[in-house]
Amino acid sequence: MEEQQQKDNFSKENEEHFEDFSDFDDDDNQISDIKRDIEILDNLEKEAENQETTQEKTTIQEKESEAENQETTQEKTTIQEKESEAENQKQQIEEETSLNNSPKEETELSQWEELDKNNAVVKKYIVYIAKDFIPYIDNLTTDERSAYINDAIQIKMDLEDEKKVQNKKRKLLLHLIVSVITFCIMTPVALIGVNKAILVTFENYKYSQDNFEKLYKQRFEKNKAYMRSVQYNKEHKIKD
């Protein structure tokens, strides 16, 4: 019984579906229009998606190109810096080699000359040592002997320099003493000379003044005598 009821229910449902489809068959035109609209909307959505994807691709390509350009510029700058550093290192090496090779190239060493550990030119000399110092020198090595002699020469040069400085100081002191003595002696002598010169000028002035007064008195007396003679002659003429 239950199976029959299920079959009946299934048959009823199928009949309802068929009825629905029969209703839709009447509206085929409307369905076709809806499908067309749906297709148009789908096409529009696809076009919009394609535009978005193209824009995204272009932006991604631009970003990638910018990143590549930045990387290339950074690589170029790093390469240039490395090249400049390498050139500087080469120049330093060339300068060092030129400095190291300069004494060898510039100076031609004689048979008595040679280079030491520091590439400095040293020369051999024959030195005569007194008998008292022979045991001390025999106990030294060749390097110690050369160092000892060089130190002795340096001490001697320093002493000579000190003597020169002392001699200069002595000369300066002598000049200063002589200048002070001359100043102390010559200043009073100069004052005495100036005083005598002033006195001589005053005496000369007085002598000239006295002579002028004498001449003036004599001339005045002569003029008086002349005037008296003239008046006397006039008086005699009037009386006559």
Confirm whether 176 is domain-assigned: no
Residue 113: enclosing H or E segment and its boundaries? Answer: strand 113-115
Can you give the pLDDT of all 240 residues of the chain as single tens digits?
A: 555 555 565 555 555 544 444 444 455 666 777 777 787 877 787 787 877 777 777 888 888 778 777 777 877 778 888 888 888 877 777 776 666 555 444 456 776 777 766 777 778 888 888 888 889 888 988 888 888 889 999 999 999 999 999 999 999 999 999 999 998 988 888 889 899 899 889 888 888 888 888 888 888 888 878 787 877 777 777 765
With contact defined as beta carbons under 8 Å apart, do 124 and 112 qualify? yes
Confirm whether 49 is domain-assigned: yes
Confirm whether 111 is domain-assigned: no
Among 128, 111, 109, residue whose Cα is nearest residue 120? 109
Residue 66, phi then psi, degrees to nearest 5: -60, -45
Instruction: Tell me which residue range forms the domain holding 14.
Output: 2-78
Confirm whether 137 is domain-assigned: no
Confirm whether 31 is domain-assigned: yes
Alpha-carbon distance of 60 to 55, in angstroms, equals 8
Question: How many domains, the chain?
Answer: 1
Confirm whether 172 is domain-assigned: no
Tokens representing 45 are: 């959505």
**pTM of the complete model:** 0.35
Amino acid at 83: E
Tokens representing 236 are: 């005699």
Residue position matching structure tokens 């170029």: 76
With contact defined as beta carbons under 8 Å apart, do 130 and 118 qualify? no
Confirm whether 147 is domain-assigned: no
How many CA atoms within 13 Å lie on the side-chain side of 198?
6
Confirm whether 131 is domain-assigned: no
Q: Under the phi-then-psi rule, with left for phi > 0, alpha for psi from -120 to 50, and beta for the rest, what region is 123? A: beta
Query: Which string of b and e fits 1-10 if b means at least 16 CB within 10 Å?
Result: eeeeeeeeee
